[in-house]
Amino acid sequence: MLEDPRLPKARREALDSLPSNHRPFLADISLWEASLLLSKGRLVIDQDTESWLALAASPAVVQLCPITPSIAAEMGRLPAEFHQDPADRLIVATARNKHLPLATMDRKIIDAKVTKIW
């Protein structure tokens, strides 16, 4: 799953070297975003979408973060001018709420400096 050439080698190696009891967190809306990318052909996989998403969200791979009232409240604390994409706002709010660095290549998120970037 981490073979995407857009993911920098250092990040791929860091993720691969995590102990099995330290899985990365994944905002649940990221599954929806991945599904959209797959349907638009912007992400290509070698299996059916549902199977791939199930594997991507597997507890053996990630800790899935569902939206909670505190994460929803954090979304409201983001600056109004920050990223108008609700999914990206939710992902950033999740990282902020959980006090976790965010792995992203999204320039709007990086440039806004609203959360720590990994």
**pLDDT score of 20:** 76
Cβ partners under 8 Å of residue 67, min gap 6: 27, 28, 29, 90, 94
Gyration radius (Cα) of the chain, Å:
14
Query: Over 90: is that where the pLDDT of 3 sits?
Result: no
* pTM for this entry: 0.82
What is the percent of the chain with per-residue pLDDT over 70, rounded to a whole number? 94
